Structure 1
Amino acid sequence: MHPTELILKSDPEKINEVEFFVKSFAKDLAINENIYPNILISVTEAVNNAIIHGNQKNKNKEVKIELYKVKEVLTILVSDQGDGFNPEEIPDPTLIENLEKLGGRGVFLIQQLSDIVQYTNDGRTVEMQFFL
């Protein structure tokens, strides 16, 4: 059985470990190939946000990825040790005034690609659910 948890140092170079982790559990859980890209992109974006924005690339802090499956729902939690944030305050990247801005799309992408998204722990944890 796949590991259900991965803990990374807040180093942008560690982001490639996410793909191996997702690939491993996707294979073990026989994740549908149509859903797999949504899961991979969402988890990668969440971890990237946690490393860069949450933990400010502080290598003394960690990002924790946890997953569990109940019936046909895969739940993935990504948590950082930062100050948290309010996802409602993130500018909508689809508005004309934000189209050319760099960044600000991770939260939007996660919301578009996941079936259910919830932020807890003052924004330090994002919970993504995917209907399998």
Structure 2
Amino acid sequence: MDAIKIQIPSLSENIRIIESFIDNAKEQYNFTDDIYGNIMIAVTESVNNAIVHGNQSDKSKNVHLSLNLEDNQVKFTIEDEGPGFDYDNLPDPTAPENLEKPGGRGIFLMKNLCDEVSFIDNGKKVILSFYLP
């Protein structure tokens, strides 16, 4: 199957476009409510990271999202136009010194909601995989 792709300028209000994209995918592929909930949180979190951290909320830069269905899994690829980041050395949000911090949970959340999370190209591209029942 060909990937379904969209791109949005790096504005936080464009998250609603991503939510509609996921709603349409749910209808098209009959995601269960559990998987749909996990996809919605993980993908919107990843896109928000791409907007805020990757593209520094620069509306002249885009975030690219694609959806691929392969065998029994759905993969979302989120890519920004920023410099990337060191995804192997992120602070642990469950460590006592980080529990009160407002940020730093996005990737932790994604890893807990997805079946697989892969970072490519210095973290400019992330692939979120969900196994379908």
Same fold (TM over 0.5): yes
The ranges of structure 1 where at least 4 consecutive aligned residues each deviate by more than 3 angstroms after the TM superposition are none
Overall identity of the aligned pairs, in %: 40
Q: TM-score under structure 1 normalisation?
A: 0.96
Output aligned runs, 1:1-132, within 5 Å: 4-132=4-132
What amino acid does structure 2 have at the position aligned with 1:35? I
Task: State the alpha-carbon separation in 2 of the partners of residues 33 and 41 from structure 1.
Answer: 12
What secondary structure sits across from 1:67 in the alignment?
strand
Task: State the alpha-carbon separation in 2 of the partners of residues 93 and 73 from structure 1.
Answer: 28
Query: 1:87 Cα deviation (Å)?
Result: 1.1
Task: State the alpha-carbon separation in 2 of the partners of residues 65 and 26 from structure 1.
Answer: 16
The runs of 5 or more residues in structure 2 that have no matched partner are: none
Task: State the alpha-carbon separation in 2 of the partners of residues 89 and 55 from structure 1.
Answer: 20
Task: State the alpha-carbon separation in 1 of the partners of residues 130 and 115 from structure 2.
Answer: 5
Q: TM-score under structure 2 normalisation?
A: 0.95
The runs of 5 or more residues in structure 1 that have no matched partner are: none
Task: State the alpha-carbon separation in 1 of the partners of residues 21 and 7 from structure 2.
Answer: 11
Query: 1:119 Cα deviation (Å)?
Result: 0.1
Query: 1:65 Cα deviation (Å)?
Result: 0.4
Query: 1:67 Cα deviation (Å)?
Result: 0.8
What secondary structure sits across from 1:35 in the alignment?
helix
What amino acid does structure 2 have at the position aligned with 1:58? D
Query: 1:129 Cα deviation (Å)?
Result: 0.4
Task: State the alpha-carbon separation in 2 of the partners of residues 16 and 105 from structure 1.
Answer: 21
What secondary structure sits across from 2:33 in the alignment?
coil
